[in-house]
Structure 1
């Protein structure tokens, strides 16, 4: 038999646990069913704790009465958490790929890896262009504009110019 003390202990272990028909919160995620502004249906928002914007918004199934949304349940919530987590992971990977680029050049001095790390600072956006030899030793590092385009041509030109800061 579960006593009030047991319920209190469970609640203390999971203070953010909410399991309502249109709102579930658990394991750092909140699922909220909202009226779909684009049509007469419903949508579900998945929000990661600490974030102001939903990580994922998608359509939600109508209930049997064809007016109200189908209530959330454990299975649906777990599926939504998995989907939103995967979607967020792809966003992070895409952002990383955008901010951190690299090319490898076969130069006269050997293989040189040229990297561009963009710093998306609101006040001072810039990027760091760096070159490393095959052993990983840094050959050069210069600050460039955040809009610098790294490709094999620009990397070769930088190497051929003796690693002088590109204009």
Structure 2
């Protein structure tokens, strides 16, 4: 979505300022409590859209359609209720994104091997130059029994984990400690 005739985003404020004094409440631009809502023209069609920015972020956390006003030409003005709803929705989007990112980097599974239950963890450490992962085994008493460094693209499966346990926790792959 491209914006034309859009209000500019406010500069980040000092945390010690009174938030009521720093708040902006205009028809197409609201800023309060670290969030900015900006209504923009949707160049893809004749409608309007709203962008939600969290302080310090350059990309919007949320972009969605915005309602036309009564004249069917201009956007409906922002109000406190709409702003609160947009903040809640944008916050939920960011929380889901963080949960998905965490789940992609930290995987766990439970396997049964050697007549015991084991929790196997794969923790990926993203790094621009040297990413790696750590594979660890925790026994049924909660003690870490083994830890080896593996490639960041290591595929964690039940069969592979059971084989690693049965084999005495050998080092895997070429990314070893």
Q: Which moved more, 1:67-76 or 1:101-110?
A: 101-110
The CA deviation at 1:82 is 0.8
Are the aligned partners of 2:114 and 2:166 in contact in 1 as well (CA < 8 Å)?
no
Is the 8 Å Cα contact of residues 112 and 162 (structure 2) preserved in structure 1? no
Q: Which has the higher helix share?
A: 1
1:37 Cα deviation from its structure 2 partner: 2.9
Q: Which residue pairs with 2:137 in the alignment?
A: 131
Cα distance in 1 for partners of 2:39, 2:45 equals 14
Q: What is the Cα deviation at residue 22 of structure 1?
A: 0.8
Report the counterpart of residue 165 of structure 1 in structure 2. Answer: 171
The total of aligned residue pairs comes to 156
**Counterpart in the other structure of 2:18:** 13
Residue 53 of structure 2 corresponds to residue 47 of structure 1: yes
TM superposition shift of 1:126: 1.4
Q: Which runs of 5+ in 1 are unaligned?
A: 1-11
Deviations 1:3-53 (A, max 9, x none): xxxxxxxxx411531111111111221111111132121111111112221
1:117-156 alignment, distance < 5 Å: 117-156=123-162
Q: State the alpha-carbon separation in 2 of the partners of residues 132 and 109 from structure 1.
A: 14
Instruction: List 4+ stretches of structure 1 deviating above 3 A.
Output: none
* Equivalent residue number for residue 38 of structure 1: 44
Q: What residue number does 1:110 align with? A: 116
Q: What is the alpha-carbon root mean square deviation over aligned residues?
A: 1.4
Q: Note closer, same or farther for the CA distance 1:25–1:155 as it changes in structure 2 (3 Å cut).
A: same
CA–CA distance in 2 between the matches of 1:139 and 1:16? Answer: 54
Q: CA deviation at 1:78?
A: 0.4
Provide the residue aligned with 1:57 in structure 2. Answer: 63
Deviation at 1:160, TM superposition (A): 2.1
The separation in 2 between residues aligned to 1:52 and 1:163, in whole angstroms, is: 45
* Aligned with residue 69 of structure 1, among 68, 75, 100: 75
1:92 aligns with 98
Which deviates more, 156-165 or 67-76?
156-165
Q: Please report the TM-score for the alignment, with normalisation by the length of structure 1.
A: 0.87
In structure 1, the residue corresponding to 2:118 is in which secondary structure?
strand
